[in-house]
Amino acid sequence: MQIVTVALLIVIGVVLFGFVIFFHELGHFLLAKAMKVQVNEFAIGMGPKLLGFRRGETLYSLRLFPIGGYCAMEGEDGCDDGGARPLLHEGPDDGVAIATPQPADNPNAFWNKPVWKRVLVIVAGGVFNVFLGLLLMALTLVPQETFATTQISKFTEGSTLQAAGAQVGDRIVAIDGYAVRNDRDMSFGMALANPDAVSITVQREGQRLDLGPFAMPSQTLENGRRVVSPDFYVMPQPRTAGEVLGRAGSYTVSMVRMVLASLKGIVSGQFGLNEISGPVGTAQAITQAAEAGLAQSFGSAVANILQMIILITVNLGVVNLLPLPALDGGRLLFLIWEGITRKPVPSKYEGYVHAAGFVLLIGLMVVITFNDIARIFTG
């Protein structure tokens, strides 16, 4: 039974990540077209081609494995020698590749576009992922009747926050230095805080008051980590069209901040390997979220799944723009260097850097995936 569960989770993870990656590549594709960069192929899926058609310079194809897609631009790997480069495209017979000389001075080649245009094409993938998160976030907020605020409405009996000096009507603005702008910031700040020494900053009558450090009630998660269990309640806020739009933007920004804070926690050792998930672990989390939602209603299950997709797409968008080899952020770093020095780094050296980064990235994904599978079998 566990083997079937693992297989199902792997399929769910692959399809979900494939959709998010496809949307990422769609961002590159649309900006490339807008910047008049020659796109040789835009593919849905990877591997052998199932079917396709050519419109203008671009081959649009559907490929066998539903694990994302790609946007192949002419000259995206650079051109050092100034000579002719071959352009591979599909010939009249399906599956036959024909090499046609493509002049190095092709004005529509990626490497011949101004740096600012190449920057826009490169960052478009990550931006599209965050934008997708924003759209889905707004969709999940529409059914809600009220929204939580960060203003305290009442305390539980024996509240440690009240004992520390907080009052009804105070607005929480920071937890252990983590800025709180909405209820999701507040929840994440509580999750990061040390239950034995929490510092909370509140705003009262226009003044900021620092409370703490003080101990707060806690609960222990399945991974053994203790987290704060809040001993207070917050004011609700009615839903309006403007509030939905504002919250969607605010929550998306909060999720970007959460991703960055989580990455910082991984680097600093605050989070261990057991708290990092790849596609399999994420699929398991999606399944658990769906089951928890179904206990209430089908709509709740859908909302939970959408929240997980939002987290995934924002994660991909933010992480992909980090200045690391093999990621868009690494390529962006080389473009910034070219913009400053007016001289590009030779493509072969840039290729070496990205190849090394790719090997390390794949190795990390293998370790994380193995840990995800082992965690399923061991509970």
pLDDT digits (tens, 9 = 90+) for 278-327: 777 777 777 777 778 778 877 777 788 888 889 889 999 999 999 988 88
More confident residue, 58 or 93: 58
Domain coverage including residue 307 = 132-145+242-379
**Mean pLDDT of all residues belonging to the chain:** 85
CA geometry: angle at 362 spanning 358 and 365, to 5°? Answer: 140
- Give pLDDT tens digits for 219-278: 987 767 789 999 999 999 999 999 999 999 999 999 999 999 888 888 887 777 677 777
The number of domains in the chain is 2
C-alpha span between 107 and 147 (Å, rounded)? 52
Is residue 284 located within the same domain as residue 366?
yes
Query: In terms of C-beta density within 10 A (0-12 exposed, 13-18 middle, 19 or more buried), how is residue 375 classed?
Result: middle
Calculate what percentage of the chain has a pLDDT beyond 90. 50
CA distances (Å), origin 240, targets 69, 87, 184, 243, 250: 38, 53, 19, 5, 15
Closest CA to 314 of 129, 127, 136, 137: 129
pLDDT at residue 82, rounded to an integer: 38
Is residue 212 located within the same domain as residue 252?
no
Closest CA to 110 of 119, 123, 99, 101: 119
pLDDT at residue 160, rounded to an integer: 95
Task: Say if residues 42 and 62 touch (Cβ distance below 8 Å).
Answer: no
More confident residue, 265 or 85: 265
Which of these three, 202, 223, 238, is where a domain ends?
238
Q: Residue 247 domain-assigned?
A: yes
Among candidate residues 25, 41, 74, 90, the one labeled active-site is 25
Peptide linkage before 213 cis (omega within 30 of 0):
yes
Which of these three, 177, 205, 238, is where a domain ends?
238
Q: Residue 6 domain-assigned?
A: no
Q: By mean pLDDT, which of 27-31, 141-145, 270-274, 315-319 is the weakest?
A: 270-274
Is residue 156 located within the same domain as residue 140?
no
Which of these three, 238, 264, 285, is where a domain ends?
238
- Please compute the mean of the pLDDT values over residues 186-200 and round it to a whole number: 93
Active site residue 25: yes
pLDDT at residue 26, rounded to an integer: 94
Q: What is the pTM of this model?
A: 0.81
57 pLDDT above the threshold of 70: yes
